[in-house]
Structures are given as structure tokens and as C-alpha cells.
């Protein structure tokens, strides 16, 4: 992977973490054991420290940077979807940042909270634990159900497993000109998209309404 020392600080990747060769790490960066960093992700620790705690993942094309004096932390088992941007913020344990979401300086995403795809979490926003926020700017939609959090935990475990699989078997190759005979498929992963799972019947108060992707 391209990794660059900056002002005497070299990025750290602990054993058991997987960082794709086309991700970029600069300066004061710590990627802890069990983490997954996807292709095209950039962690630019040239202004302040960037930390990924154990078991967290940062997917393809994500950007992590900071404001002077603001450490950016991705908590244990947190999950950051494709193309998200984190800037000077804190993502607490087990939280999920949706695809292309933007989380700004001094925002804090509480434990096991979900930030919906394409949401903008404004600077200084405190997202309560176990809630769904969505929109531009992001606002609390509702509390999360236990089954939704369990679904997210399963998804994060898939990425933790992927980190181990990549470390064991990912190899750079030249593509084939045609499929080989009897080409196998990847093993099926038993994980259903959240929008396909049964939802509880909304109560008169409206509890149960509002999807993670809404």
C-alpha cells in the first residue's frame, strides 16, 4: 500500500489488519488489528491523528481527514460505507456510517447509531446511541430496533472475516481473457439486505416507521 511518513510520523498497521494495496495512508494513522480498509480509501494524517480501533472497517473510496487539534476516531466494530467522508469526528463503537455520508468536525456518532446513506452530519452534532439519523442536515428519524442493530453486527462480522480472507488469499494477477471451464461462484454469505427483512407493524404512535435507507 502507499504509506508515507510525514513530519517524522509513520502510519501504523497492526498485525491482523488488512489494508488494500491501493489505499493511501499518510502520517499519524493507526489501523488496529482486525480492521479492513478497502481500495481507494485515503487516511491523511497530516494535520491530526486518525485512529481505527479493532474490528472497524473503512470501505472503498472513503476519505478520513481532520481539523487541527481534532483527532478522528473510528470506534471498535464501527462500519463506514463506500465513499463516506469523515472529518475531525468521532464514530463510537458499533456505529454505522452509510454510503456517501459526510460527518463533519466535532460531530459524534453514538454507539450503534446509524447514519443513513447520503446524510450530512453537521459540525458539532451529537447523534444519540442506537438511533437512525438521515437527511441534509441529518436529523433523528427514530430509535433503532434490536433486530436492526443485530443485522448491522452481522454485516460488520462479514468485513472482519473479509480482512482475514484477504490476508490469506488475495493475490494481484492479470485478468483472464475468458471464463475458465466450470468457473465456481463465491460462497454464499447468509446476510439479507435490511429492506428485505420483515418489519414490525407500526404502532399508532408511528414507532417502527422509517427505514435505515430513508
pLDDT tens column, 129-147: 999 999 999 999 999 999 9
Predicted pLDDT of residue 141? 97
Predicted pLDDT of residue 208? 46
Q: In the chain, what is the greatest distance between 2 CA atoms, to the nearest angstrom?
A: 60
Domains of the chain: 3-143 (2.160.10.10)
Whose cell is 450530512? That residue is 120
Predicted pLDDT of residue 201? 60
Q: Name the pTM for this structure.
A: 0.89
Residues of the chain with pLDDT under 50: 205-211, 213-214
Cα dist. 90→76, 149, 173 in Å? 11, 19, 37
CA proximity to 26, closest of 8, 3, 48, 58? 3
Predicted pLDDT of residue 189? 82
CA-CA distance, 16 to 180, in Å (whole number)? 32
- Are 31 and 50 in contact by the 8 Å Cβ rule? The answer is no
Residue 148 host element (H or E): helix 146-169
Predicted pLDDT of residue 197? 67
Q: What is the distance of C-alpha 92 from the center of its chain?
A: 11
Amino acid at each position: 500500500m502507499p504509506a508515507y511518513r510525514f513530519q517524522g510520523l509513520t502510519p501504523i498497521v497492526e498485525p491482523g489488519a488488512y489494508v488494500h494495496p491501493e489505499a493511501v495512508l499518510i502520517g499519524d494513522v493507526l489501523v488496529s488489528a482486525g480492521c479492513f480498509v478497502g481500495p481507494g480509501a485515503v487516511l491523511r494524517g497530516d494535520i491530526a491523528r486518525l485512529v481505527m480501533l479493532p474490528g472497524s472497517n473503512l470501505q472503498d473510496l472513503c476519505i478520513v481527514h481532520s481539523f487541527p487539534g481534532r483527532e478522528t476516531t473510528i470506534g471498535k466494530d464501527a462500519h463506514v460505507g463506500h465513499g463516506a467522508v469523515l472529518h475531525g469526528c468521532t464514530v463510537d463503537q458499533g456505529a454505522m456510517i452509510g454510503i456517501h455520508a459526510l460527518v463533519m468536525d466535532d460531530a459524534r456518532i453514538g454507539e450503534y447509531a446509524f447514519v443513513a446513506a447520503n446524510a450530512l452530519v453537521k459540525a458539532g452534532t451529537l447523534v444519540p446511541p442506537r438511533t437512525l439519523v438521515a437527511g441534509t442536515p441529518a436529523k433523528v428519524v427514530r430509535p433503532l430496533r434490536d433486530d436492526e442493530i443485530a443485522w448491522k453486527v452481522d454485516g460488520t462480522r462479514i468485513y472482519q472475516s473479509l480482512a482475514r480472507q484477504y490476508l490469506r488469499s488475495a493475490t494481484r494477477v492479470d485478468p483472464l481473457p475468458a471464463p475458465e471451464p466450470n468457473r465456481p461462484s463465491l460462497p454464499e454469505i447468509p446476510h439479507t439486505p435490511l429492506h428485505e427483512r420483515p418489519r414490525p407493524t407500526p404502532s399508532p404512535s408511528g414507532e417502527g416507521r422509517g427505514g435505515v435507507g430513508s
